[in-house]
Structure 1
Amino acid sequence: MKRLSGTVLGGLVLASAACVAVPGPALAASVPAGIQGLDVSSHQPSVSWPSVYGAGGRFAYVKATESVTYRNPYFATQYQGARQAGLIRGAYHFALPHKSGGAAQADYFVKNGGGWTADGWTLPGALDIEFNPYQSSNGLDTCYDLSPAQMVSWIRSFSDRYLALTGRRPTIYTNTYWWQTCTGGSAAFGDHPLWIARYASSAGTLPSGWTRHTIWQYASSGTFPGDQNVFNGTAAQLKQLATGQSTGAVTPAPAAKAETRVSLVNTGPDRIKRGRKMTLVGTLSQYTATGTRTGAAKQRVTIRFRPRGSAAWRTAGTATTTATGTFRKTFTAGKDGSWQAVYAGDSKRLATRSATGYVDVR
């Protein structure tokens, strides 16, 4: 994983490098209290996982992939070794947003070890999104020459595809400076577990959208091989994150009405042939004041379409959510354009709408 201390499609998903030199100390002044863990890549080809467990390590993230061309050759040994030693583990993907779309990189990640199962030993896959480490060779800036809006769209595309493939939102690994710079301080991902990187005596100010971190990477070396991390919670809460009983994220307290969020994914291929059927699938969720999520049952969701070149949205259809808050609607692909799910709200719930995404019809 790159050193961060100091140093497709918005809500619609179409169905090892050198370290960055950064200022500041490489080690935190002391080991923070909490559940200790580590992350490793091909830079740590031989890890004694029983020794890690004996030294107090209880969780690990292992690099699986980068872009859509690189696979960690030691991933299987590292990933299985961590599990056999008794650690809860997960996989992470290093994003190169200029290489391909977010959905394509999520596909590659899941295909090469980044999936999730509710076995109690697997953490949700992590998206490592940070400073461009190849500036000297690719000539792109620290944000890969993407605008904040483009970066947010890329991250959303990755997240939505990962959700569609695994049923979980990915953990997001980043640091505050990069996030505020390259996403424009987007607050749209607060429902994702945050893995904050900061080599200092505290996790510091968090990126916009989060009021609490799930994991803190606090040093590049120490007790364990690789980077040093601490989980912000109890052993039971770590287990809940692995089983899916907890998202690891903090949802902001609602206003007078319950906060709701709607997501929308498309089970069709990236490019859809004209006349082909495509099914839009989504979830309408509501949150209590303590951040507990439940599905918003028996609610009407409107699905809108905006043809390419038009500024006007039109209603394409409606769907009613199930007992778990899910909904689906099948359409015939006719024109290129953007899709969105809209919930009007009611006396108990706030109105909301999904991010928009473009469908390429050929």
Structure 2
Amino acid sequence: MTATALASTLLTAPSAHAADSDISFSNVVINNGKPIVLGTGTQIEVPLTYTVRTKVKLDSWWISVYRGTLDGNEKVLANGWIQWSCRQSTAGGYTYYDCDESLQVDPDMLAGSKKLVNTDATTWKSVATAIKIGGGYDVDLLSYTTRLKRASVIESADASPEPVTKGKPITVKGTLKRANWNTHRYDLYGGQKVTLQFKAAGTTAFTNVRTITTTSTGALRTTVTAAKDGTWRWYYAGNSVTGAKATTGDYVDVR
């Protein structure tokens, strides 16, 4: 297992070099096909798998996730990667490498000392680079894209009173916030639909109870009638630029 620093200078504009027919990248999957959700202040590892097919010997290769034009001003999402394994095989005169890696992504510091801003919550493209032994390289623009979203959190999620008498009201509260990449903090997130869910004691699945809209300050508050023991939680489904979030849940004993 090796960790390698990734700088934006590793990307060479494809217009300066045609793709080599003896080298190709395929089966690219980033984050298991799901959007990448980033908060603030915490580096995450994003799984990446792909296949390299080559007729020439390679010194190194990598896949980069980027936004913009490959002219030196692009944003590269990862600031490093970990290559867990590349399984080698041969067929039809080609050598194949099936690779499992992790992109190291710090929301507050991308490659080349660049940073995420809120408008980066959009679709990002991918490009593959291969360095040949003895000199020369290959750069392939890939069709694979991935979506980047701002993380959401639900704070102060609480169901009370605990315990409660059967037939009496239970008040469930919470506050929805969303990562602000411009300021590196979480801001209150108003006007969003959030669903209250319940899981009865002895069962394994949550069911939807009702959906309410957060206030302008992101506040959540609703009242239900106590009927049976169980766990209450909030679930926010997210949107095109914001990740989903479910609270861990608050158990209430009904007597």
Structure (1 or 2) with the greater strand fraction: 2
TM over 0.5: no
- Counting helix residues as a fraction of each chain, which structure ranks higher? 1
Larger gyration radius, structure 1 or structure 2: 2
* Length-normalised TM-score, structure 2: 0.42
